[in-house]
């Protein structure tokens, strides 16, 4: 069994080191399934002050990360992990999704490059970066949170990281539907009862109820997800049942 290696290049290694000491990532590391190390880009900066940023050519607000320290840090990480894929986190990247995560989970290693300030010197992106990823259409003060989002999403797809291998394949985005509602004890909370079917022990009925609840939620909250989805037999059956029920309602109106 191979170890997936995450190497995060950052000027704030403390953020990554704190993250790797907590929760599912910590457990995955302890199980020997993944490794997660930070590399301080500042260690590759020259001079007494180890400067990693500078003013933009052409003027304008803010600072740009200098190319030399990042290039040296990437080359060092690539020398240690020759088969790893090098990814820059930036708002200009391709939009991250569960599909993306599934592809990345097959990589032997990821070198995640985190920029700060107003961005990274454009000449870094050209030959040292394999992929540029964005976790969404918003701007962060640095790529570190984006790197953590990617690590979190990818590790839970690695066999053995979650308690059960079924847990990840059960996820809403693997089925292209929103998750059904979940309940736990007590059976009544502040006047709201748990749906009776879930207490019935009838697993076939529970499964059908959950699928219908997932379809309802998706239809009401994220109808555009149906455009991407290939509907299965039981899903079509439920939509046909709705059609009959809706037609009955319309009939009573005319
Ligand atoms: N949406 C994201 C990633 C990084 C970031 C940065 C160039 C800015 C948002 C390179 C510009 C890095 C994202 C740092 N903001 N900020 O994934």
- In order of their start, the domains of the chain are 4-155 (3.40.1280.10), 188-253 (1.10.1270.20)
Contact (Cβ atoms closer than 8 angstroms) between residue 4 and residue 32: no
Residue with token string 């320290």: 69
Check pLDDT > 90 for residue 209. Answer: yes
- Does 89 contact ligand 1 (Cβ within 6 A)? yes
User: Is any ligand 1 atom within 6 A of the Cβ of residue 117?
Assistant: no
State the catalytic residue, choosing from 68, 91, 179, 210. 91
Q: How far is the CA of 119 from the centre of ligand 1 (A)?
A: 7
Rounded to whole angstroms, how far apart are CA atoms 177 and 167? 15
E strand or H helix at 39, and its extent?
A: strand 34-40
Active site residue 234: no
Say which residues have a Cβ less than 8 Å from residue 151's Cβ, sequence separation at least 6: 6, 8, 19, 25, 36, 110, 112
| pLDDT beyond 80 at 166 | no
Please report the pLDDT score of residue 96 as a whole number.
Answer: 98
Range name among 48-62, 170-184, 214-228 with the lowest pLDDT average: 170-184
HSE, CB side, 13 Å, CA atoms: give it for residue 135. 20
Q: Is the CB of 142 under 6 A from ligand 1?
A: yes
For the CA of 136, the closest atom of ligand 1 is 1
């Amino acid at each position: 069994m191979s170890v997936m290696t995450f190497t995060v290049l950052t000027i704030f290694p403390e953020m990554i080191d704190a993250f790797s000491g907590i929760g599912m990532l910590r457990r995955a590391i302890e199980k020997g399934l993944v490794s997660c190390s930070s590399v301080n880009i500042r260690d590759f900066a020259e001079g007494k002050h180890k400067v990693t940023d500078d003013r933009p050519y052409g003027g304008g607000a803010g600072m740009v990360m200098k190319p030399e320290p990042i290039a040296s840090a990437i080359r060092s990480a690539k020398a240690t992990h020759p088969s790893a894929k090098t990814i820059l986190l930036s708002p200009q990247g391709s939009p991250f999704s569960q599909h993306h995560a599934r592809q990345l989970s097959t990589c032997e290693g990821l070198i995640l490059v985190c920029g700060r300030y107003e961005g990274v010197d454009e000449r870094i992106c050209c030959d040292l970066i394999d992929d540029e990823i964005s976790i969404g259409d918003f701007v962060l003060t640095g790529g570190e949170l984006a790197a953590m989002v990617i690590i979190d999403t990818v590790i839970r797809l690695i066999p053995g990281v979650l308690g059960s291998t079924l847990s990840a394949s059960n996820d809403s985005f693997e089925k292209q539907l929103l998750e059904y509602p979940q309940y736990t004890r007590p059976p009544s909370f502040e006047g709201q009862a748990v749906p009776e079917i879930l207490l019935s022990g009838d697993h076939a009925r529970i499964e059908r109820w959950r699928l219908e609840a997932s379809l309802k939620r998706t239809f009401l909250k994220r109808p555009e997800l149906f455009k991407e989805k290939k509907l299965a037999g039981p899903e079509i059956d439920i939509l046909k049942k709705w059609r009959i029920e809706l037609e009955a309602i319309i009939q009573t109106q005319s």
